[in-house]
Amino acid sequence: MHSIKNTRLLDVLNNKPVDRTPIWIMRQAGRYLPEYLETRQRAGDFMTLASTPDLACEVTLQPIRRFSLDAAILFSDILTVPDAMGLGLYFAAGEGPRFKNPTRTPEDIKQLATPDPETELRYVMDAVRLIRRELNDSVPLIGFAGSPWTVATYMVEGSGSKEYVHIKKLMYGDENALHLLLSKIASTTIAYLRAQADAGAQTLMVFDTWGGILTPRAYQAFSLHYMQKIVTALRESHASIPITLFTKNGGMWLPDIARTGCNAVGVDWTVDLRDARALTQDRVALQGNLDPGVLYGSRVKIKEEVHRVLESYGAGERHIFNLGHGIHQYIDPDNVEFMIETVHELSPAFHAD
Amino acid sequence: MHSIKNTRLLDVLNNKPVDRTPIWIMRQAGRYLPEYLETRQRAGDFMTLASTPDLACEVTLQPIRRFSLDAAILFSDILTVPDAMGLGLYFAAGEGPRFKNPTRTPEDIKQLATPDPETELRYVMDAVRLIRRELNDSVPLIGFAGSPWTVATYMVEGSGSKEYVHIKKLMYGDENALHLLLSKIASTTIAYLRAQADAGAQTLMVFDTWGGILTPRAYQAFSLHYMQKIVTALRESHASIPITLFTKNGGMWLPDIARTGCNAVGVDWTVDLRDARALTQDRVALQGNLDPGVLYGSRVKIKEEVHRVLESYGAGERHIFNLGHGIHQYIDPDNVEFMIETVHELSPAFHAD
């Protein structure tokens, strides 16, 4: 890690000064890039792409080659974990992820496998090792997993959802079964993230996409509690690896997230970073939070909104520029490049000389 | 209005003491009721049901007959307004609402009709008049509309959406065109709500389902600004009609919503009512906020969670019990009855003798 050339992201995570605000983009290896679409077509389907280390490495590197980004993020999916637990992940054309065997009953939950990451998820670790070699210490590599609550939601619903009928039935109908499920996912996720760190990931992020559908009390009990377990376990085994937690629509809970001992908190665009910073009192770095929709706008608009995000964080060393959620597939890559250049141009003013 | 028998809802809206917390349920006339499904089947499709006053009246009254509720809400849909503006609303089987002619370009927006509610939406006013006659002043009737932002989102997307590509393109690409669209919808909505009040609706609610997908600044400019216009206009024409505003996922913006001059603010279940009350400083009544998913639980769980909501609001006269969003279609009506009885049983303790 000491030999890495671009240390901006790790510096901000470790509370060290930087010359300008680091930037990476959630879902930066994605469908808005023609080279990604080309590789994905070659792979045939998403799971082949994600589970073939050569191909996963290739798409991870594509945005790094094209843009001047400060980090690479492993190309994978948060649902590789439940797939390895035996649910049979597949992607229905135009419909998003689905599971052949959703987890509904207490019996389903009891029978879940607890996979060994270096066996059942070896393809991920092989991809991490390959990517690190190919990156050649140019920028750090971010490893990641879904939060136990978010993964559980997918496992129980069997697909994306609008009303979360099945997981809410479980939550209000058999809380103990849900806790057992979350514990199993948390254990698997801890082993999975440790394996990613051992394979070479230099910082880790946990995506809690669905924490925001919970009541404040349920968020604490069913989502944050298990993210806390992950942070605590990683601190024991990998004391110095920086960890970022991100709960979409979790603006009201930023103070609690910041108290887990994580290094950074992701913030979506519904919160002003000024408020997020006040709520977390500089205890953590903040990552975000441009509305991905801004990238549909003109250059004048993009520049205006990038400046607004930088200004909302203000002067200080603990901001990681990013979108507030994943980039959309219909965005013009030239606009992405312009956004990145704008961050390079405007952000030094917010850092001490 | 002076002759109405159950005045609890209007009393809370008008800041008068009540013996217990009033309760009604968002989407209370809906698919969880077998009698609703029967009437809907008879109608053939949703639009026929919504646009035939006899049938709309029938389904509006069904939950009032079955349960001991403190208000009826007009059976209709927020998309009747854009339908009357010329977009051609239809419901694709299992897919939710769609428009034949979505509004995408500045030309589409310029050409939008501004309907006269007593002509193009006369079926709604006829339903309101009929429902009032049938209710015979037993409980008050709530009229409603979608917020201009929410209606615009549907009009531009042409259907429900996950990433809101088209409306964000418009927002960041042609802000003036979006403001023109929102102004047209706001004018139509003001006329529509005035007509509902004139036809007999005794209180009005504005549903802002998609305000929560905006940045704080965009929420002010594109959603709250137009809801403010509606409140101001209604205050001019109908000084004493109580108005409720509800932005889903708008927890961070409760203080701003409360300052519009509305009488009540709807709160979804992601916010603790204790915090919502502190944020709005008793300036308004608060409506909510049981997670609809609780109704999948056992009676013990339902009672526990109902109590939690009542307790989170605490002692005071300005709470309207409701779910935090619409009731799900798979809920057992017996559980709904139990929830209502529980509010009747537990809430008097939170009101002064």
**Concatenated DSSP letters of B2-70:** TT-S--HHHHHHTT---SS--B--TT-SSTTSHHHHHHHHHH-SHHHHHH-HHHHHHHHHHHHHHS--S
Which residues from chain B sit within 8 angstroms of residue A288, using beta carbons? none
Q: What are phi and psi of A271, to 5 degrees?
A: -115, 140
Structure token digits, residue A79: 């649902």
> Which percentage of chain A shows pLDDT scores above 70?
99
d(CA B202, nearest CA chain A) in Å: 31
Residue of B nearest to A296 (CA): B169
The amino acid present at B230, given as its one-letter code, is I
Q: What are phi and psi of B333, to 5 degrees?
A: -55, -30
Q: Residue B175: name the closest of B130, B214, B222, B212 by CA.
A: B222
State the catalytic residue, choosing from A32, A154, A219, A313.
Answer: A154
Find the range with the poorest average confidence among A216-225, B97-106, B273-282, B311-320: B97-106
**Alpha helices (H) along A200-246:** 216-218, 225-237
CA dihedral angle for residue A164, residue B150, residue B232, residue B75, rounded to 10 degrees = -70
Q: Report whether pLDDT(B1) > 50.
A: no
Pairing status of strand B96-99 against strand B89-92: antiparallel
The predicted structure's pLDDT at residue B218: 97
Which residues from chain A sit within 8 angstroms of residue B214, using beta carbons? 270
Q: Choose the mutation target among B270, B298, B305, B325 for the interface with A, i.e. most A CBs under 10 Å.
A: B270
CA dihedral angle for residue B322, residue B326, residue B329, residue B331, rounded to 10 degrees = -20
Q: How many Cα atoms within 13 Å fall on the side-chain side of residue B81?
A: 29
Q: Residue B24: name the closest of B10, B5, B39, B38 by CA.
A: B10
3-state secondary structure at position A153: helix
Per the document, the length of chain A is 353
Go through A217-256 and write b for each residue having 16 or more CB atoms within 10 A of its CB, e for each that does not. ebbebbbbbbbbbbbebbeeebeebbbbbbbbbbbbbbeb
Which of A168, A169, A291 faces B215 most closely, judged by CB atoms? A291
More confident residue, A258 or A46: A258
Go through A327-337 and write b for each residue having 16 or more CB atoms within 10 A of its CB, e for each that does not. bbeebebebbe
ipTM: 0.94
Measure the CA–CA gap between B93 and B81, rounded to whole angstroms: 21
Measure the CA–CA gap between A297 and A294, rounded to whole angstroms: 5
Pairing status of strand B72-73 against strand A264-266: unpaired
Measure the CA–CA gap between A161 and A182, rounded to whole angstroms: 19
Which of B172, B270, B308 faces A293 most closely, judged by CB atoms? B172
Q: What is the pLDDT of residues B3-54, one digit of tens each?
A: 899 999 999 999 999 999 999 999 999 999 999 999 999 999 889 999 999 9
Q: What is the pLDDT of residues B207-261, one digit of tens each?
A: 999 999 999 999 999 999 999 999 999 999 999 999 999 999 999 999 999 999 9
Q: Report whether pLDDT(B329) > 60.
A: yes
Measure the CA–CA gap between A73 and A60, rounded to whole angstroms: 7
Strands (E), chain B: 72-73, 89-92, 96-99, 141-146, 203-208, 243-247, 264-266, 285-290, 319-323
Adjacency order of strands within the sheet including A264-266? A72-73, A141-146, A203-208, A243-247, A264-266, A285-290, A319-323
The amino acid present at A271, given as its one-letter code, is V
Which residues from chain B sit within 8 angstroms of residue A169, using beta carbons? 293, 296
> How close are the terminal C-alpha atoms of chain B, in Å?
25
- B256 flagged as catalytic: no
Q: What is the pLDDT of residues A87-111, one digit of tens each?
A: 999 887 777 889 999 998 999 999 9
Structure token digits, residue A257: 């997230």
- What number of other Cβ atoms are within 10 A of residue A138's Cβ? 13
The predicted structure's pLDDT at residue B2: 53
Q: Report whether pLDDT(A2) > 60.
A: no
Which residues from chain B sit within 8 angstroms of residue A330, using beta carbons? 165
- A313 flagged as catalytic: no
- A40 flagged as catalytic: yes
Q: Residue B167: name the closest of B131, B121, B218, B203 by CA.
A: B218
Domains of chain A by residue range: 8-350
Which of B172, B270, B294 faces A212 most closely, judged by CB atoms? B270
Cβ atoms B312, A188 nearer than 8 A? no
The predicted structure's pLDDT at residue A1: 47
Q: Which CATH architecture is the domain A8-350 placed in?
A: Alpha-Beta Barrel (3.20)
CATH number for the region B8-250 comes to: 3.20.20.210
Go through B282-315 and write b for each residue having 16 or more CB atoms within 10 A of its CB, e for each that does not. ebbbbbbbbbbbbbbbeeebbbebbbebbebbee
**CA A134 to chain CA centroid, nearest Å:** 21
Mean pLDDT (chain B, rounded)? 96
Q: What is the mean pLDDT of residues A148-173?
A: 92
Mean pLDDT (chain A, rounded)? 96
For chain B, the residues whose C-beta falls within 8 A of a C-beta of chain A are: 163-165, 168-169, 171-173, 212-219, 249, 251-252, 269-272, 275, 291-298, 301, 305, 308, 328, 330
Matching residue, tokens 């990681």: A320
Which residues from chain A sit within 8 angstroms of residue B173, using beta carbons? 296-298, 301
> Which percentage of chain B shows pLDDT scores above 70?
99
For the four alpha carbons of B292, B295, B298 and B302, in that order, the dihedral sign comes to: positive
Structure token digits, residue A111: 């029978």
Q: What is the pLDDT of residues B306-316, one digit of tens each?
A: 999 999 999 99
Q: What is the mean pLDDT of residues A212-233?
A: 98
State the catalytic residue, choosing from A27, A104, A122, A283.
Answer: A27
- What number of other Cβ atoms are within 10 A of residue B82's Cβ? 25
- A27 flagged as catalytic: yes
- A45 flagged as catalytic: no
Measure the CA–CA gap between A257 and A276, rounded to whole angstroms: 11
Contact B169 A305 (CB under 8 A): no
Structure token digits, residue B147: 């917020």
Measure the CA–CA gap between B289 and B273, rounded to whole angstroms: 8
Q: Say if pTM beats, i.e. exceeds, 0.80.
A: yes
Structure token digits, residue A163: 């009303």
Which of A163, A172, A308 faces B301 most closely, judged by CB atoms? A172
Q: What is the pLDDT of residues B94-122, one digit of tens each?
A: 778 899 999 989 999 999 988 999 999 99
Which of B171, B269, B271 faces A293 most closely, judged by CB atoms? B171
